[in-house]
Amino acid sequence: MWFMRQAGRSLPEYREIRSGIGMLESCFDPALVCEITMQPVRRHQVDGAILFSDIVVPLKAAGIDLDIVAGRGPVVAEPVRTAADVAALPRLEGDEVGAIARAVDLLLDELGGTPLIGFAGAPFTLASYLVEGGPSRGHERTKALMYSDPQTWHRLAGALADVTITFLKTQLDAGVDAIQLFDSWAGALSLADYREYVLPHSERVFAEIEGAGVPRIHFGVGTAELLGAMGEAGADVVGVDWRTPLDVAQRRVGDGKALQGNLDPAVLFASPDVVEAHARRICAEADAAVASGAAGHIFNLGHGVPPDTDPQVLTDLVQLVHSL
Ligand SMILES: Cc1c2[nH]c(c1CCC(=O)O)Cc1[nH]c(c(CCC(=O)O)c1C)Cc1[nH]c(c(CCC(=O)O)c1C)Cc1[nH]c(c(C)c1CCC(=O)O)C2
């Protein structure tokens, strides 16, 4: 088990080490990346470390003018909305993310036996930030581009798949033990639109890294209707949010793939007996999923750790799930 966003503002040691240093600046400082990645591993005894970085790091490295604004998320100075904007997008060669490879190097020494999970954003979720110019509820401009100019959309998603492939290969060459492709906002799409506009690009990402031979996790929020297709994209593990019980998710994903999830992060704010009841239910649903063909279960939340979570609740949850 591990937690999405296990490194971050829920930890006082994170808030302390980050004070006075910008989010993106810290992502390009190998020693800091190493230390922040280690913090939740030391504190909670989770079974996996996730590289401290962000999905927009490779876009920044490629030269796109963007920032991560505290409490808001990634903000892009000049949104990408036309064919000319897409044609002008810079490529990521790989050298620009050398600091991330050095951070992986440091981590492999620190971690001992704990596996390191690398990650990247999937083309749709990255495109949403670029087209909208920042976080969005409805992804209206992104969908409008997709529907009204499919050719430009596919060029954009293709260019972002290239960036993601380079970023993941950098991490894989440096030695990460697994990767997770975050398509956090893909749940905004219908299954038909996902298949037409997104799946081919995510599929190419997974195919390009298959040779590395490490487990590949694919995750999004609100993806109940997409779980089968997200598995088909080439994942070995499909991340499930709290809306779909794991045994139901198994039937949608099909046999032979593992599942990851799916405690509602809001449950972390309830009393200990409520947390325990939900953790027990999820383990039982995971057992049922495995009995009917899932390749395994990784306990996680259904989305990231909220910043105001009491870290002791997470530490206790790790102990509980290990004992179960
Ligand atoms: C959509 C997305 C982003 N970034 C990411 C996603 C996909 C995962 C998801 O769906 O949550 C991925 C991400 N971002 C971060 C990690 C670190 C690794 C981990 O999970 O511990 C990971 C895996 C660090 C971060 N990325 C960010 C923080 C907070 C910045 C800070 O501490 O100042 C962290 C720890 C900033 C960020 N970056 C992004 C958002 C929405 C935010 C939050 C804005 C805010 O609430 O301040 C974009």
Ligand 1 atom nearest the C-alpha of 129 is 48
| For ligand 1, atom 2: residue with the closest CA | 55
Q: What is the pLDDT of residue 232?
A: 98
Average pLDDT for residues 159-174, to the nearest whole number? 98
Ligand 1 atom nearest the C-alpha of 70 is 47
CB atoms < 10 A from the CB of 129, how many?
26
Query: Which positions make up the binding site?
Result: 5-9, 54, 129, 184, 303
Whether residue 293 contacts residue 272, with contact meaning beta carbons closer than 8 Å, is answered with: no
Q: Show the tokens assigned to 137.
A: 């509820």
- Domain residue limits, the chain: 12-323
Q: What is the pLDDT of residue 285?
A: 98
Q: How confident is the model at residue 135 (pLDDT cuts 50, 70, 90)?
A: very high
Residue at 182: amino acid letter:
F
Report whether residue 52 contacts ligand 1, using a CB cutoff of 6 Å.
Answer: yes
Q: How confident is the model at residue 317 (pLDDT cuts 50, 70, 90)?
A: very high
What is the set of active-site residues? 5, 9, 18, 54, 129
How far is 110 from 34, CA to CA, in rounded Å? 8
| For ligand 1, atom 22: residue with the closest CA | 54
Report whether residue 21 contacts ligand 1, using a CB cutoff of 6 Å.
Answer: no
| For ligand 1, atom 39: residue with the closest CA | 73
Query: Which positions make up the binding site for substrate?
Result: 5-9, 54, 129, 184, 303
Ligand 1 atom nearest the C-alpha of 8 is 35
CA 214 – ligand 1 centroid, Å: 23
The helix/strand/coil state of 178 is strand
Q: What is the pTM of this model?
A: 0.97
For CA atoms 202, 129, 260, 251, give the dihedral sign.
Answer: negative
How far is 186 from 102, CA to CA, in rounded Å? 31
Q: Show the tokens assigned to 59.
A: 């876009």
CA 220-223-225 angle, 5° bins? 155
Average pLDDT for residues 34-50, to the nearest whole number? 98
Q: Show the tokens assigned to 268.
A: 């972390």
| For ligand 1, atom 26: residue with the closest CA | 54
How far is 130 from 7, CA to CA, in rounded Å? 25
The helix/strand/coil state of 69 is strand
Q: Please give the CATH topology (third level) of the domain spanning 12-323.
A: TIM Barrel (3.20.20)
- pLDDT tens digits for range 100-118: 999 999 999 999 999 999 9
Residue with tokens 């990460």: 176
Task: Kindly provide the ipTM of the predicted complex, given to two decimals.
Answer: 0.93
Report whether residue 220 contacts ligand 1, using a CB cutoff of 6 Å.
Answer: no
How far is 257 from 255, CA to CA, in rounded Å? 6
Whether residue 178 contacts residue 214, with contact meaning beta carbons closer than 8 Å, is answered with: yes
How far is 323 from 316, CA to CA, in rounded Å? 11
- Residue 306's alpha-carbon distances to 88, 164, 267, 312, in angstroms, are 36, 26, 11, 13
Dihedral pair phi/psi, residue 149, rounded to 5°: -140, 70
CB atoms < 10 A from the CB of 216, how many?
19
Report whether residue 124 contacts ligand 1, using a CB cutoff of 6 Å.
Answer: no
Residue at 286: amino acid letter:
A
Q: How confident is the model at residue 220 (pLDDT cuts 50, 70, 90)?
A: very high
Report whether residue 37 contacts ligand 1, using a CB cutoff of 6 Å.
Answer: no
Report whether residue 58 contacts ligand 1, using a CB cutoff of 6 Å.
Answer: no
Tell me the average pLDDT of the chain: 98
Mutate to test the pocket of ligand 1, among 6, 36, 54, 72 (most ligand atoms within 8 A of CB): 54
| For ligand 1, atom 35: residue with the closest CA | 8
Residue at 205: amino acid letter:
V
